[in-house]
Chains A and B, each alone.
Chain A
Amino acid sequence: MKAITTFLLALLLCVLLPGAAHGQCQIQTFTNYGVSTSEAESGNPFSGSPGGSLQADLIVSVVVDGSATMQMESYGCPDSVVTQFNNNKQYITHFPSVLNQIGSLGGWSQGPSFCAECYSSYQTNLDSGLLNVGQTVTITSGAEVTCSMAGLVFSPPFNLLSGEIAYTRSVNTGIKAATFVLNGQLWNAWAILAYCNPATSPPDWNPLTYNAVAIYPPSSRFYIDGIAACVRINVTGAPWFCTPGVSIGWDQSLNLPQAACTHNP
């Protein structure tokens, strides 16, 4: 099968090269590929008592998927060449490559080849290993698709993103910012303020509201420890964009101190 494919590709090249020399026969490639990067956290973000050592893994997934259509430019190109191309283009293959890097970990990896006009999807997942909450890592992601005939057909600019698992301690002000009903339960949105030490203020993830069902009084949810997955463009000073945080509230009687929150301006 491989020999037949190689022969047909060689034949195709022989047919196309004279046309290319005249500048009349050119392969047109229309790509519909896309690359996306997503981050998730796993591991043990609360490995001790409140304010204790916080660690978790960051898992980065990069996927390139889509398809392409290829055709021979028919204007000025002999019909025999166009026909030959159309009869043999199913033997043309595309090779996806994905760049998935956290700091110096990971790199490029090449996926399996697939027929040029078929839908394909290639994904890599990279685990950072245990990170301390507050530790910043640089995520470099990207993708390329190379065609066996036309060379590089998809090469978007690299997404230079920074990701982190942000930890923030807040205190409940006792001020009800809003009430709403969700799934038949009355919820209160309490206004909260970050409760971080001066060196780590303002925190990267700075939730303004803490949503809890109305049966819990604010004094029983006074100290609020929370985590969220955050990402930003890898430029110093750029704002962090975070998922809604999952939080746990502690009673006011615990008298918890200001925490070392995640702070990477």
Chain B
Amino acid sequence: MWAVKGTFLGISIFAVGAAVFMLLSLRSIGGAFIAGPGRQMAFDIRSISLVTIYNAWFWAAFAACIVIGLAIARSWPGRFSPVFWVVLAVIDLVPAGMLSLFLVLVSRLKEAAAAASAAK
């Protein structure tokens, strides 16, 4: 059971960390998650995959988060409060929502790329 809890904890740490990293990265380059005129920007969808799923550090961070989650779950004295898991699940909704939106857009952009290739 501790392995399941640890894995969930690790995935949560990674998901929240990735969301925070994205927001901080946006901020560091002068952007924001919601921006008005003069601060709006666009991101190349293919470049995003290069810094995430095709990046070794991305997967290293994922593995490290799983290990940290397992270590916490294994060494935690006593039982985790049920409230803790509920709060964690609610917090996870934010990165899960962002990931869902992103995946929908990626799938549509792939269709657009295919149409453009056909037009050539």
Contact = CB atoms under 8 A, between A and B. Distances in A.
Report if A and B associate in a common complex.
yes
Interface of A: 40-50, 52, 56, 170, 178, 180, 182-185, 187, 189, 192, 205-213, 216, 221, 224-228, 231, 239-250, 254
B40 A208 contact: yes
A48 B41 contact: no
Q: Is the interface of B mostly helix, strand, loop or mixed?
A: helix
B1 interface: no
Interface stretch (B6-14, B27-35, B67-75): B27-35
B40 A248 contact: no
A189 B8 CA distance: 36
Interface string B70-100: 0000000000000000000000000001000
Given A189-B29, A211-B44, A44 B108 contact: yes
Contact of B116 (A47, A50, A216): A50
Contact of A46 (B25, B43, B52, B112): B112
A243 B33 contact: yes
A207 to B, nearest CB: 4
Contact of A209 (B41, B52, B120): B41
22 contacts: A42-B101, A46-B108, A49-B112, A50-B119, A185-B47, A189-B29, A206-B37, A207-B42, A208-B38, A208-B40, A211-B29, A211-B44, A240-B36, A241-B34, A244-B31, A244-B35, A244-B43, A245-B42, A246-B109, A247-B44, A247-B45, A254-B120
B55 A245 contact: no
A210 B57 contact: no
Contacts of B38: 208
A210 B108 contact: no
Given A46-B112, A241-B35, A185 B41 contact: no
A213 B42 contact: no
Residue from B40, B52, B57, B108 having most chain A Cβ neighbours under 10 A: B40
Contacts of B112: 46, 49-50, 225, 248
Contacts of B118: 49
Interface of B: 25-26, 28-29, 31, 33-47, 50-52, 55, 57-58, 97, 101-102, 104-106, 108-109, 111-113, 115-116, 118-120
Nearest to A59: B101
Nearest to B34: A241
A49 B115 contact: yes
A192 B51 contact: no
Contact of A42 (B28, B52, B58, B104): B104
A213 B44 contact: yes
A41 to B, nearest CB: 7
A213 B42 CA distance: 12
A213 B105 contact: no
Contact of A184 (B37, B39, B44, B57): B57
A213 B51 CA distance: 9
Contact of B55 (A47, A183, A205, A243): A183
Contacts of A216: 44, 46-47
Given A185-B50, A227-B105, A239-B37, 12 more contacts: A45-B105, A46-B112, A50-B116, A50-B119, A183-B55, A207-B40, A241-B36, A242-B40, A246-B109, A248-B44, A249-B44, A254-B116
